[in-house]
Amino acid sequence: MWLLVWVLAASISVLAFEQPGINSLPANNPVKQPWIWPLPRKWQRGENTLDCSHMQIQYDHQHGILHRAVQRYKDLFFPQDDYPMVPYNWTTTDAHLSGTLKTLVIQVEQPDHDNLDLDTDESYVLDIPDAPAARAVLAAKTVFGAVRGLETLSQIIQWSPQHQRHLIPNAPWHIQDYPKYPHRGVLFDTARHYYPLQAIKKFIDTMSWNKMNVFHWHMVDSTSFPYVSKAYPELAQKGAYSPRHVYTAKDIQEVVSYAKDRGVRVVPELEQPGHSTAWLGVPEIMSCVDVVPYTGFTVQPPSGQLNIASNKTKHVVKAIVDEWAELFPDSFFHASGDEVVMNCWANDSSIQTYLQDHHMTLQELFSDFVLEIQDHIRQKNKTVIVWQESVLEYNLTMPKDTIIQVWIGAEGVKAATEKGYRTIVSSQDFVYLNLGFGKPRSNPYPDVAGAGFNHWNRVYSYDLRANLTQAQQDLIVGGESALWGELMDPMTFESLAWPRASAYAHNLWSGYEDSDGQPLSSADAILRLIPWRERMVQRGVMASPLNQIWCTRNPLDCFQPAEH
């Protein structure tokens, strides 16, 4: 009986799908590499197909993170689309429908070690045997490794409109996977535009699906201070866009907990002492607020930096640090420090008076302030991250466990690692995803260096380690794409981020080279990135398309040297 139904279903669907026209199932998509994004580090696969429509999952229900992950993936494993834009190419596999995947067994070696940190083990091994009643095993050291493995399995499973079933092609599978870099993040700017929690959570979901693990929360900046502090509620009262556009302690805990479930750390950045106009809820800690014209006082309006000569300033900043150190349990804390304009303080009479009274230079005062705040952060058992200006421009001397985030590009990475600092690579001319749209009012073309649109292939094939010694290369802990908020907001952030952040996720997890050290070709990459974009869309992400549908379905005919 079962066989009859099967044959019947298969015949019906073959009829429905027999469209030998321009847009029939792709005849020339070789699927050289599995449709898994990012590509696992080591993988082997066979040529048979398993039906997994009724797969059972065995795991330790006691562990909350694992339990909730399995519940999520029960949905993600089994999407359905009878008319997919990018149909999976079954031609080589559906002749070998050789069995059923009865069970997935998840084995976690250290289920109670659920601290999420730079050294958290995210590795996993996934074995899917080829048998009439197969039992797959996903083995990981930590629950977070298991989360990564579940994602990989979700991308292996394909809905087959022909069979009206969920199938696993290319069994047997043996995948041994682990990230190239431990720090794989995105900077998310909620100061220039406000994002509701729902948008942030959706973004963290998508990060997790791309095996990214750091949500760098650039929460405050000159334009708004949405954080509702317990000690200084007036900061948000005066600095947030409205009483509705804020993040409370409860909101933050919700985001942190949501992210941890998905193997994503939340690293807060406390922007100061530059880009700080929005702290004006405590007016006595401010210098050069909203000078008009702003030129010479800030690189971006409104002007306003913290008054670094005031003890009250240190008191307020440390109070926020104390609150955030609790709310954000992560071991990293971003102390910011970018784009300070000394001229702001040089024109502040209270600071000039202070310098004269204390026989100090402005540089000394600035250095003292910044290092005192950093020390306060370290006392909370946090690793301090700063932008590259601190070492390359202000020449501050900081402990060697400080991590330098570099946005200026290759020279910056070289210089920071030469000084022996660990480094996060965020080169604006490769991985900034907010550029390419000119200036708000008048600039018709993105003609400024480092202001161009970063194409997915530029992100994907970026060599983070170019021209570095081995010792320098070893200091790179990873990278972050950046979604600065001048020209993006909840209406557009997803289409700007995805799939280009996916391209960096691939670079940081899989590397951009194959096992022989040769760069992976973009011709191969787009054959996997296109279906990955489609799968993200199917999951509700408003990702940008990479090409017209015909090219998506006929990539080898489309992507020729003379492509238009």
Active site residues: 339
By CB under 8 A, name the one of 23, 115, 257, 350 that touches a second copy. 23
H/E/C letters for each residue in 218-283? ECCECCECCECCCCCCHHHHHHCCCCCCCECHHHHHHHHHHHHHCCCEEEEECCCCCCCHHHCCCH
Q: By CB under 8 A, what part of segment 218-257 binds a second copy?
A: 222-224, 237-245
429 to 395, 435, 493: CA distances (angstroms): 24, 9, 19
Q: What 8-state DSSP symbol labels residue 470?
A: H
Q: Where are the beta strands (DSSP E) in 381-500?
A: 383-387, 403-406, 422-425, 476-483
> Shortest distance, CB of residue 119 to a second copy, whole angstroms?
35
Q: How far is the CB of 72 from a second copy (least distance, A)?
A: 22
Span interacting with a second copy, options 151-159, 262-270, 278-286, 413-421, rule CB under 8 A: 278-286
- Asked if 292 is part of the footprint of a second copy (rule: CB under 8 A), the reply reads yes
Name which position in 381, 440, 516, 518 contacts a second copy (CB under 8 A): 440
Cβ atoms of 420 and 476 within 8 Å: the answer is no
Evaluate whether 346 touches 309 at the Cβ level (below 8 Å): no
Size of residue set near a second copy by CB under 8 A: 86
Q: Tokens 């070893």 label which residue?
A: 474
Which 482-511 positions form the footprint of a second copy (CB under 8 A)?
485-489, 491-492, 494-495
Residue nearer to a second copy on the CB measure, 175 or 236: 236
* Distance between CA atoms of residues 35 and 42, nearest Å: 14
The correct pick among 182, 329, 438, 450 for binding a second copy (CB under 8 A) is: 438
| Partners of residue 387 on adjacent β-strands | 405
* 275-304 residues labelled b (16+ CB within 10 A) or e (exposed): bbbbbbbbeebbbbbebeebeebbeebbbb
Nearest to 140 by CA among 76, 202, 60, 81: 60
Radius of gyration, alpha carbons of the chain? 26
Cα–Cα nearest to 345, from 390, 391, 313? 313
Nearer to a second copy, 313 or 423 (CB): 313
Q: Which helix (H) or strand (E) holds 312?
A: helix 311-327
**Binding map of a second copy across residues 529-558, x = CB under 8 A, - = no contact:** --------x----xxxxxxxxxx--x--xx
Residue 424 CB, nearest distance to a second copy (Å)? 23
Judged by CB under 8 A, the chain residues 294 through 333 that form the site for a second copy are 294-295, 299-302
52 in contact with a second copy (CB under 8 A): no
Window 69-88: residues binding a second copy (CB under 8 A): 82-83, 85
Structure tokens at 418: 């030469």
Q: Which is nearer to a second copy, 239 or 479 (CB)?
A: 239
Comparison of 132 and 444: residue with beta carbon closer to a second copy: 444
- 132: alpha, beta or left, given left = phi > 0 and alpha = psi -120 to 50? alpha
Contact 396, 416 (CB under 8 A): no
Residue (182 or 301) nearer to a second copy, CB: 301
**Between 329 and 438, whose beta carbon lies closer to a second copy?**
438
State the minimum distance, in angstroms, from the CB of residue 118 to a second copy: 31
Q: Considering only 13-21, 34-42, 115-123, 173-181, which stretch makes contact with a second copy by CB under 8 A?
A: 13-21
Site for a second copy in 455-474 (CB under 8 A): 455, 457-458
Comparing CB distances to a second copy, the nearer of 365 and 542 is 542
As measured in angstroms, the least distance from the Cβ of 218 to a second copy is: 13
Q: How far is the CB of 393 from a second copy (least distance, A)?
A: 17
Distances (CA, A) of 56 to 49, 364, 429, 517: 18, 64, 46, 39
User: Smallest distance, Å, CB 128 to a second copy?
Assistant: 30
Give the residue among 273, 279, 287, 274 at the shortest CA–CA distance from 231: 279
Q: Which of 267, 278, 477, 503 binds a second copy (CB under 8 A)?
A: 278
Give the separation between CA 279 and CA 454, rounded to whole angstroms.
33
- By beta-carbon proximity to a second copy, the closer residue of 294 and 333 is 294
Per DSSP, the residues of 502-562 read: HHHHHHHHT-SB-TTSPBPPHHHHHHHHHHHHHHHHHTT--PPP-S-HHHHHSHHHH--TT
In the bound state with a second copy, the residue whose beta carbon lies nearer, of 258 and 460, is: 460
Is residue 293 a contact point for a second copy (CB under 8 A)? yes
Task: Give the x-and-dash track for 194-213 against a second copy (CB under 8 A).
Answer: x-------------------
Interface residues for a second copy in 126-155 (CB under 8 A)?
none
Window of 69-77, 417-425, 446-454, 474-482 that interacts with a second copy by CB under 8 A = 446-454
Query: Around Cβ 466, how many Cβ atoms within 10 Å?
Result: 10
